[in-house]
């Protein structure tokens, strides 16, 4: 039986180990490792080997015992900057690095930590991160890429975006336990592990207020001086300017079109929406692709009718959602529609309905392997009855023609082909859209 003093010693030792685990990382020594080499590879300051020597009670920094464990302070670890790139730009979108002037953001432009991106009226941009996550900026939005880095030794990734004004929607690839992905407004921090959600800050939800709306997964929403509120899928929260976060509020169901098969051949593009109760406003967004990576127009209207100015002929997608009395946007429904400007020579081409599908590229998925994609389009949610099941796609875009009227479900998975020919796939979300008649 332990004496009281021995029991207290064991408890203290366990507590010390727990506290150390929060501030250090364990490294298993390999053959020929030295403190000098480890400091050069993994630490910000090569001279910090002296700290490792003292902390780990190393007698000879040039001769370390293989398979022994070193405790390395997290604060000393070297970090590398990650890159992002713009995979869709529409309208007036500008970026600046540090104190430099704002310049136009072009398609495929690289972005790094410290860059600021601004969209103008009716302008949009989608930024892809290295793991396939992406952030879409809606109109009149400004974000700062505050952190975009990885720790060299551990591979832990830290990504933080400051939302200065406007709205972003983001889809986050599942993260490792210690990774961080935050979107920060002046009144709230939204943190995730892998999910799809929107954050709005500014005029549309009240001056100084922030809303968070979760479409998939869970989000932790936290004010400056309060515990986090866990927001489940299909719920939203609103915080005031002081950072007080509401209880989760269930999002409104998706509205529907009254004429889903209407060909938009007039001077304006008009969508008649089936009116819904408890709705303050409606929102209609138009994109060239079914995944809404490339948004080209949107409107927020008080009544169930959305009108857009003229657009070129072609096939597009419209996404409809309803906004409740709190300012929280609800679930959405997507329809394809055809724009046919019959006065143009391109009218014949407009009669051929081409449906574009785009997805993001996961630069990490194919490390040491050939990276391809598996695309499935079906008429059932479980994808049991595929209209198209195509493997070994090497790009991030696919165009299909003349789909029959009905509701479709689609998914794209990153397929890994290791050298041993055993195929694996990363889990993928299932999306849907309706072709009207």
Q: Is the per-residue pLDDT at 415 higher than 80?
A: no
pLDDT on residue 198: 96
Please state whether beta strands 219-222 and 210-216 pair in parallel, antiparallel, or not at all (unpaired): unpaired
CA dihedral 94→97→102→103, nearest 10 degrees, is -60
pLDDT on residue 431: 96
Which residue, 78, 24, 32, is CA-closest to 52? 24
Cα–Cα dist 139/157, whole Å: 28
Cα–Cα dist 47/67, whole Å: 24
pLDDT on residue 369: 55
pLDDT, tens digit (0-9, with 9 covering 90-100), for 244-280 = 999 999 999 999 999 999 999 999 999 999 999 999 9
Q: Is the per-residue pLDDT at 348 higher than 60?
A: no
Tell me the pTM: 0.88
Which is more confidently placed, 368 or 96?
96
Q: How far is CA 399 from CA 12, 86, 174, 317, 428, in A?
A: 63, 21, 27, 13, 19
pLDDT, tens digit (0-9, with 9 covering 90-100), for 117-161 = 999 999 999 999 988 899 999 999 999 999 999 999 999 999 999
Q: Is the per-residue pLDDT at 342 higher than 70?
A: no
Quick one: average pLDDT of 171-192?
90
pLDDT, tens digit (0-9, with 9 covering 90-100), for 150-168 = 999 999 999 999 999 999 9
pLDDT, tens digit (0-9, with 9 covering 90-100), for 313-325 = 999 999 999 999 9
pLDDT, tens digit (0-9, with 9 covering 90-100), for 49-63 = 999 999 999 999 999
Identify the burial level of 393 via C-beta atoms within 10 angstroms of its C-beta, where 0-12 means exposed, 13-18 middle and 19 or more buried: middle
């Amino acid at each position: 039986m332990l004496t009281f003093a021995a029991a207290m010693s064991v408890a203290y030792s366990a507590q010390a180990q727990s506290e150390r685990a929060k501030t250090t990382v364990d490294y298993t020594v390999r053959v020929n490792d030295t403190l000098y080499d480890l400091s050069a590879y993994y630490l910000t300051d090569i001279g910090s080997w002296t700290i490792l020597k003292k902390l780990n009670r190393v007698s000879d920094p040039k001769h370390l015992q293989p398979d022994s464990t070193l405790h390395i302070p997290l604060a000393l670890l070297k970090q590398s900057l990650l890159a992002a790139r713009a995979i869709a730009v529409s309208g007036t979108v500008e970026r600046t690095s540090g104190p430099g002037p704002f310049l136009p953001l072009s398609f495929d432009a690289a972005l790094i930590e410290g860059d600021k991106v601004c969209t103008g009226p009716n302008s949009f941009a989608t930024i892809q991160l290295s793991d396939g996550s992406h952030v879409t900026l809606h109109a009149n939005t400004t974000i700062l890429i505050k952190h975009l880095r990885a720790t060299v030794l551990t591979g832990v990734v830290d990504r933080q975006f400051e939302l200065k004004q406007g709205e972003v929607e983001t889809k986050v690839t599942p993260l490792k336990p210690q990774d961080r992905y935050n979107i920060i407004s002046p009144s709230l921090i939204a943190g995730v592990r892998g999910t799809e959600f929107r954050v709005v800050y500014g005029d549309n939800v009240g001056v100084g207020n922030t809303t968070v709306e979760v479409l998939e997964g869970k989000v932790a929403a936290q004010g400056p001086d309060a515990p986090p509120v866990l927001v489940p899928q299909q719920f939203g929260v609103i915080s005031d300017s002081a950072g007080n976060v509401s209880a989760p509020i269930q999002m409104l169901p998706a509205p529907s079109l009254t004429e889903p098969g209407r060909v938009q051949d007039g001077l304006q593009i008009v969508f008649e929406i089936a009116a819904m109760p408890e709705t303050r406003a409606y929102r209609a967004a138009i994109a060239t692709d079914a995944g809404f990576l490339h948004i080209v127009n949107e409107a927020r209207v008080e009544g169930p009718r959305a009108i857009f100015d003229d657009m070129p002929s072609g096939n597009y997608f419209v996404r409809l959602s309803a906004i409740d009395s709190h300012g929280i946007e609800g679930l959405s429904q997507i329809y394809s529609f055809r724009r046919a400007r019959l006065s143009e020579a391109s009218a014949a081409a407009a009669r051929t309905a081409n449906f574009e599908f785009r997805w993001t590229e996961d630069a990490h998925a194919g490390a040491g392997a050939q990276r391809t994609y598996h695309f499935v389009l079906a008429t059932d949610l479980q994808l049991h009855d595929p209209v198209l099941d195509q493997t070994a796609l090497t790009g991030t875009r696919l165009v299909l023609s003349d789909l029959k009227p009905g509701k479709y479900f689609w998914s794209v998975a990153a397929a890994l082909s290791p050298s041993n020919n055993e195929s694996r796939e990363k889990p993928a979300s299932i999306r849907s859209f309706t072709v009207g008649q």
